[in-house]
Amino acid sequence: MFSGSIPALVTPFDRDGGFDERAYRDLIEWQIAEGSTALVPCGTTGEAATLTQDEQFAIVRLCVDQARGRVPVIAGAGSNDTRVAAANLRAAKEAGADAALMVPPYYNRPSQEGIFRHFEALAQHAPLPIVLYNVPARTVTDIQPETLVRIVAAFPRLFVAVKDASGILQRVSQHRAALGNDFCQLSGNDDLALAFNAMGGVGCISVTANVAPRLSADFQQACAAGDAAKALALHDRLFPLHAALFSDASPGPVKYAMTRVRPGFPEGLRLPMTWPGETSRAAVDAALAHAAL
């Protein structure tokens, strides 16, 4: 259902924390023009944790409006409360999203059975397809391969993909062996996307694509075409940027990078996120120079 370079969009805020609609619309236009194949509003990189529910789905609605059907919109909609997650799914559908990106419950730390029951409950009335998002470094909850297979096998038409940010590459093969080549596996780690695709992945929900959408799209196209030499060259060109964008608390570095490649891009973040430190900014500048950006 999804493939290629899919930016986890930053949310532009002014210095007072207000949402900048014009900057967001411009960002979406640039992403589509540069070859991004889908858009993810209000994910982790979009600072969803600091948005009210009304703000979150107003931003999703705006993203859908600006995309105008040219690429799919996958709305960040997860929650650690199953009832809230169900309400978020309905709100994402009402906002016009094509799918929802859903983390397992964070902070609560449910068992694997609890993770399955959470998604089982969501499946009962889910109004749109779900991309499972496994990011244990943030949620402290890891969807083990056996659990993911159990979820997808129980509801194959609903759970259509995984964004895997576990960093455990062997899971690509484990998931593929159990669910087949047609199950959509997307990397959640830019720095591992080359190896992830080589093992059967079909794309990346990307932080770096915010800053380098054309290079990220070209990289994914090279992978899909089996052009290993071109894919490796683009990977090497982007690799320092992948690292630099996590040289301080994300999304601070990527927002700084946006001001470098898109002059006038708003500089705001919402607390507790802060502007990256001097060392991080220097790393971003060096990485942008390495990538010829």
Which residue numbers are catalytic? 133, 163
Only one residue has tokens 């297979």, namely: 149
What is the C-alpha radius of gyration for the chain, rounded to an integer number of angstroms? 18
Strand partners, 132: 102, 162
Cα 241 to Cα 26, 157, 187, distances in angstroms: 22, 36, 17
Strand partners, 74: 99
164 C-beta neighbours (distance < 10 Å), count: 27
* Residue 122: CA count within 13 A, CB half-sphere: 34
Distance, CA of 227 to CA of 143 (rounded, Å)? 32
Distance, CA of 241 to CA of 190 (rounded, Å)? 9
Residues 135, 76, 83, 123: is their CA dihedral positive or negative? negative
First-to-last C-alpha distance (Å) of the chain: 31
184 C-beta neighbours (distance < 10 Å), count: 17
Cα 238 to Cα 232, 245, 284, 293, distances in angstroms: 10, 11, 11, 10
Distance, CA of 29 to CA of 103 (rounded, Å)? 27
Question: At a CB cut-off of 8 Å and minimum separation 6, what does 293 contact?
Answer: 211, 212, 215, 241, 260, 261
